[in-house]
Amino acid sequence: MDNSKKQSEKKITWETFLAASLIFVAAYFITIWLMIVFSSRLTGRIDQNRIIQKTIESVPYPVAMVGGKFITDKQLLANLASVQRFYENQDFSKLGLRVDFSTEDGKKRLEIKGKEILSKLIDDTIIQSEAQKVGIILTSDMINQEVERSLKEYGTGDTLKNNLEKLYGWNMDDFKENIVKPDLYKEKIAAYVQKNDATFSTTKDKITAAQTALKNGLSFADAVKKYSDGESASASGSLGWFSADQMLPEVALAVFKLNVGQQSEIIQSSVGYHIVRLEDKKAENDVDMVKVSQIFVRTKSFSDWLQEAEKKYRVRVFSKEFLWNADKGEVEFRATNLRDYEKDIQSNPPNDPSVIF
């Protein structure tokens, strides 16, 4: 009987100890998470206690939630560190530009980069989720094939690997996760949307009708009035003079093959469908220029589609610095002074390449 009582007491003591330990561990991690939420991590303004720092470095904490998926503090900071490294490892002096993230203004610019990165991580999460909903699943083979294509562009694998390490501090797995995978999901869901979204077939029908009307004798100016979208519609389709690098690549490729007075077939670009007429051409300071008119039918852009997709998700941002603007579909600063600073440098960009591009 005494042994049974002792064993029972030991069991209660052990269970009490275990429960207390779990409560302590949970409280510790909640405290660390609250410190992250209510501190600025992007510019290093956080408690420098070594134990806390080690915990932060080893355990990912959520900075945002998209639907049921978390974006971690570790993801955000790793991407920010890579971007910072990229700018600081470039020599912009030949362009009369410089980067300095150590000043007060520099720290604010770095926080702007952090905001942009968090927005992209949220977008990438939504794009991947939407892609998987329609059965688009990326395999390792698909990702590796995309990497092989990148390697061919750089000439050798060593060149790409060296550049990744030097400029971003990345290895090949980082490159796959941060660049190849998100870009491939975006490419495949964009192709799916273009094929299956009803607005694309409607706009294609409209530009096809314009092409048929032109072939049946309707004047270009009248076809513009009847079918065209955009500002050029109010000017009989006239766009003025352009060099090749001032035009959409798809349009430039078609226009510079035309003779004066000729019109193109239907051209599909990133913003819509075009039928372009070459009005005149000339050389100006050794640069070939063309004067063009167009019939333009706008399609839904990928950013339009993404903004609609974002409305289907509950996005939450756990941060002292940022909040999620559901109407605009973007991350914003909580602090008014940082919002004002961001607007100011956008309208009056300084000689800092991290702002310019």
Q: Is the pLDDT of residue 45 over 60?
A: no
- Structure-block tokens of residue 106: 């520099």
Distance between CA 19 and CA 61 in Å, rounded?
A: 23
Q: Which residue has the higher pLDDT, 348 or 23?
A: 348
- 69 to 59, 115, 303, 326: CA distances (angstroms): 17, 19, 21, 17
- Structure-block tokens of residue 351: 């000689």
DSSP 178: I
Pick from 174, 167, 70, 110: which is nearest to 321 by CA? 110
Q: pLDDT digit string (tens) for 56-99?
A: 556 668 899 999 999 998 899 999 999 999 988 887 777 777 78
**Number of other CB atoms surrounding residue 244 within 10 Å:** 15
Long-range Cβ contacts of 99-106 (<8 Å, 24+ apart): 99/352, 99/353, 99/354, 100/352, 101/354, 105/350
Q: pLDDT digit string (tens) for 186-204?
A: 999 998 988 888 877 788 8
The answer to whether 294 touches 276, Cβ cutoff 8 Å, is yes
The answer for residues whose C-beta is within 8 angstroms of residue 192's C-beta and 6 or more apart is: 131, 134, 136
